[in-house]
Amino acid sequence: MATQEPGTTQLTPDPLDSALAPLADAFGDRLLTPASAEFAEVATVFVGGPERTPAAIARVRTTEEVVAVLAVARETGLPLAVRGGGHHQARHGLVDGGLVLDLRLMDGVQIDTEARVGHAQGGVLAGTYTAAAGAQGLATGFGDTGTVGVGGITLGGGIGFLSRHDGLTVDNLLGAEVVLADGRVVEANADENPDLYWALRGGGGNFGVVTRLDLRLREIGTITGGMMMWEPAPAALTTVLRAFAEGPDEFAGMVNVMIAPPAPMVPVALQGKPVIMALLVHSGTAAEAAEALAPLRALGPVLDGVQEMPYPAMFEGAGGPPSGAVGDARSGFLGTGAWSPDEAWAAAAIDAVSTAGGPAALNIRAMGGAIGRVDPAATAFAHRDPAFMVTVYKGAPTVEAFSAASAWVASTAEALGVSERGYVNFMGTATEQDVRNAYPEATLERLREVKREYDPNNLFASNHNVRP
């Protein structure tokens, strides 16, 4: 990247080359620039906003290498982003013209069956961890997709198939190894740096690079799970949502109002048309699962793939990021306790997706159960009372169409009464208002105090940023 002055034969060193020289020497072909053959593939993230092009990507393998990358970021002032799985809608794992610390080669998992603790390095994916734990008849609840990074989903909250029974992923984080902005490597748990431990459980990547997570494991055997699909009738949607809201803690999942994809399991007559799709798990006995599923099966699903299976099977076959896809999303909450929407709301939801004019979906997740039994002040994820979490999503065929997709997301969320309170893992943007929506004021002020203690210069700013 050196440049030649006009009329001379001497090359002028590029300042960026000089800044990255320590990493180039240490990392070799694991330091990627836009000229690297692997750069485009490694810089691809899951569906989100417009593209960003980093100046370099450092693919770390050890905690010591994380320390080295942070030292370069501090000394050069290059903007820094930390990437785990790369699923976030706001594309936190990329930063224009800056340095990306890519954790995905740190993918080791250790399952301590005696202590019932899983140890995951910072780049481990949920599917990898779940398969390793499942081989021992154990599990930690994450979300619903195997390609999500364990670190990212945990630091934001983590709501998925086991959350109503076991709590959010943050409620099962026992401790972490963290590399701080100044290069120190510390432990964060209930006894060591408890303020940092509190902040990590919902405060995102604001406080350091998490290089190891210690996660509580539960015993789990055969579960009843899979996909069910119905034609888009308001009565069907309300029945499905009520079954989750009023069901036992063992019964959880997500409901999508969406345009049916051209997938082999989807009836050809429904492909490209609006449908109601549920992806669910019942972690109790087969008899208990049959009772919980009875009202859903009484609706006459057009697709019923729910069956007994090992829990890790729910995470198999998840696709990677769509090539070049963009879109926007907004998450919020509906109701409290065991409340569920009425048919007027259901009809409006189905109509919104049906008339969106392109790829669009509402993702609705029942909360309640163990999620709501945690003190809101116990973790930085403080939204413990809602009945449902709702994410409104709209795809865009080009980067230029992104603004229109964002406008549709905002207007649809408002029309459906989705609260402005949001979930950082599902927010499509990362404005200051988004941060205020993600955290109640008392929680946000406490996060600012922790930020001032551990990252006073805001090195970790490519996130839903809590400013010191």
Pairing of strands 209-216, 274-282: unpaired
Residue that wins the pLDDT comparison between 21 and 62: 62
What's the CA gap between 242 and 13, in Å, rounded?
Answer: 65
Look over the chain and give the mean of its residue pLDDT values, rounded to a whole number: 90
Domain layout of the chain by residue ranges:
3-102, 109-219+441-454, 222-432
User: Which amino acid type is present at position 370?
Assistant: A
- DSSP H or E run through 176: strand 173-179
Residue 201 gets the label, from left (phi > 0), alpha (psi -120 to 50) or beta, of beta
How many Cα atoms occupy the beta-carbon half-sphere of 327 within 13 Å? 24
- 238-267 pLDDT, tens digit per residue, is 999 999 999 999 999 999 999 998 888 888
- How distant, in Å, are the alpha carbons of 91, 178, 243, 427, 433 from that of 379? 24, 17, 28, 19, 21
Q: Does domain 3-102 have CATH number 3.30.43.10?
A: yes
Distance CA 440, CA 105 (A): 35
> What pLDDT does 11 receive?
43
pTM score over 0.85: yes
Question: How buried is residue 320: exposed, middle or buried, by Cβ count under 10 Å (0-12/13-18/19+)?
Answer: exposed
Spatial separation of the C-alpha atoms in residues 91 and 85, rounded to whole Å: 11
Strand, coil or helix: 215: strand
The region of weakest confidence among 328-332, 395-399, 459-463 is 395-399
Residue 298 phi/psi, 5° resolution?
-65, -20
Q: Residue 317: exposed, middle, or buried by beta-carbon count in 10 A (0-12, 13-18, 19+)?
A: exposed
Q: Are 196 and 186 in contact (CB under 8 A)?
A: yes
Q: Give the pLDDT score at 113.
A: 97
Q: What is the pLDDT of residue 359?
A: 86
Indicate if the pLDDT at residue 117 is higher than 50.
yes
Please report where in the chains the tokens 């303020």 appear, as a residue. 195
What type of residue sits at position 297? R
Q: For the stretch 425-453, what's the b/e string if a residue is b when 16 or more beta carbons lie within 10 angstroms of its beta carbon?
A: bbbbbbeeebbebbbeeebbebbbebbee
Is the pLDDT at 51 greater than 80? The verdict is no
The proportion of the chain whose per-residue pLDDT surpasses 90, expressed as a percent, equals 72
Sheet containing 99-102: order of strands: 31-32, 56-59, 99-102, 80-83
Q: Which residue type, as a one-letter code, is found at position 183? A: G
Alpha-carbon span 357 to 370, nearest angstrom? 38
Give the separation between CA 322 and CA 44, rounded to whole angstroms.
9
pLDDT at 358 over 50: yes
Q: Name the 3-class secondary structure at 371.
A: helix
Task: Of 243, 246, 282, give the one whose Cα is nearest residue 165.
Answer: 282
Around Cβ 378, how many Cβ atoms within 10 Å? 14
For helices 234-246 and 343-354, the axis angle rounded to 10 degrees is: 120
User: pLDDT for 294-323, tens place per residue?
Assistant: 999 999 999 999 999 999 999 986 544 444
pLDDT digits (tens, 9 = 90+) for 156-198: 999 999 999 999 999 999 999 999 999 999 999 999 999 999 9
**DSSP bridge pairs for 275:** 258
* Sign for the pseudo-dihedral over CA of 392, 393, 399, 402: negative
- Assign domain 109-219+441-454 one CATH number from 3.30.565.10, 3.30.470.20, 3.30.360.10, 3.30.465.10: 3.30.465.10
Reading the block at residue 318, the tokens are 């998840």
Helices (H), 211-306: 234-246, 286-297
Fold of domain 222-432: Vanillyl-alcohol Oxidase; Chain A, domain 3 (3.40.462)
Mean pLDDT of 399-405: 82
